[in-house]
């Protein structure tokens, strides 16, 4: 294929990707919209040895415009799998309630469901940044009677790679399922659902091998999405992306990235 012909394909794709990225991020960084009063909501994070990443995630969740307007409508829970570092202490510094859990991310998430008091569960991750209007955009869906959950698309955090962040806008169409159907996956770092719906569908299958990443993804992101969709709609909010880390990519430099991958490859993490 000639270079000129390649450009005829590449340029429209690039322009479309940039345009879609701008569409996705236009509202989520705008804190000016006055949020509506939300139902009582539990923000639940599961963690294991996350001291290198968790503080930015917690800071971003503290800065949510809906939490600033309605602070008494939220509780924040960290389910810690006996971290060997300062993960739990950092969360406590931000006034999060910390519970300890046995090893296994799904086990930790299940304990979070049991401990939570909120009508709605918002699942978040320690390696992810949440723009200031993210939580308000996610919770607005629960005004609709047919909705049982909502999914946030995942973009790469532009602080780590601007190019990868733009590319991830296009890849998010594949990541969370068919664009028109929506809600084909429920990634743990950006999903909200009714707490009672979790128990109604039987929750997660805790008997799987939680140290096998492929089994984990199938259960946490695919099977659980299928279960929820039996109860009602689980749309994707394309204007409420969360910004996640590239830390699983080995070319990332820095001590915290090296430490994460060393522990991950040694089987010391989720």
Summarised one tens digit per residue, pLDDT across range 36-81 is: 899 999 999 999 999 999 999 999 999 999 999 999 999 999 999 9
pLDDT at 7: 44
pLDDT band of residue 180 (cuts 50, 70, 90) is very low
pLDDT at 182: 45
Residue 137's nearest CA partner among 239, 44, 62, 39 is 239
pLDDT at 34: 83
User: How many residues can be counted in the chain?
Assistant: 270
Percent of the chain with pLDDT over 70: 90
Distance (Å, whole) CA 175 – CA 152: 11
Inform me whether the pLDDT recorded for 109 exceeds 80.
Answer: yes
pLDDT at 179: 47
Inform me whether the pLDDT recorded for 121 exceeds 50.
Answer: yes
pLDDT at 2: 60
**CA dihedral in degrees (117, 101, 192, 69; nearest 10)?**
60
pLDDT at 8: 57
For the domain bounded by 3-265, which CATH number is listed?
A: 3.90.550.10
Average pLDDT for residues 221-230, to the nearest whole number?
Answer: 93
88-120 per-residue burial string, b: 16 or more CB within 10 A, e: under 16: bebbeeeebebeebeebbbbbbbbbbeebebeb
Q: Mean pLDDT for the chain?
A: 89
Give the list of residues 6+ apart from residue 23 with CB closer than 8 angstroms, or none.
238, 239
Percent of the chain with pLDDT over 90: 67
Inform me whether the pLDDT recorded for 33 exceeds 90.
Answer: no
pLDDT at 66: 97
pLDDT at 211: 86
């Amino acid at each position: 294929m000639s270079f000129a012909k390649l450009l005829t394909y590449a340029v429209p794709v690039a322009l479309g990707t940039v345009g879609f990225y701008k569409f996705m991020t236009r509202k989520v960084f705008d804190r000016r919209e006055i949020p509506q009063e939300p139902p009582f909501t539990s923000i639940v994070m599961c963690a294991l040895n996350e001291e290198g990443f968790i503080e930015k995630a917690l800071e971003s969740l503290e800065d949510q415009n809906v939490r600033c307007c309605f602070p008494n409508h939220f509780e924040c829970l960290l389910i810690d799998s006996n971290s060997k570092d300062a993960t739990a202490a950092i969360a406590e510094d931000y006034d999060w309630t910390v519970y300890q859990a046995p090893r296994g991310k799904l086990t930790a998430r299940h304990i979070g469901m049991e401990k939570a008091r909120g009508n709605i569960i918002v699942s978040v991750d320690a390696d992810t940044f949440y723009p200031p209007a993210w939580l308000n955009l996610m919770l607005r869906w629960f005004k609709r009677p047919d909705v049982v959950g909502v999914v946030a698309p995942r973009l790469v955090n532009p602080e780590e790679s601007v190019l990868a962040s733009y590319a991830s806008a296009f890849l998010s169409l594949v990541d969370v399922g068919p664009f028109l159907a929506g809600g084909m996956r429920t990634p743990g770092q950006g999903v909200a659902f009714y707490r009672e719906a979790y128990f109604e569908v039987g929750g997660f299958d805790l008997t799987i091998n939680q140290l096998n990443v492929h089994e984990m993804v199938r259960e946490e992101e695919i099977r659980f999405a299928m279960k929820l969709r039996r109860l009602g709609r689980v749309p994707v909010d394309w204007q409420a992306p969360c910004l996640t880390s590239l830390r699983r990519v080995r070319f990332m430099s820095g001590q915290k990235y090296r430490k994460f991958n060393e522990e991950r490859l040694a089987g010391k993490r989720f």
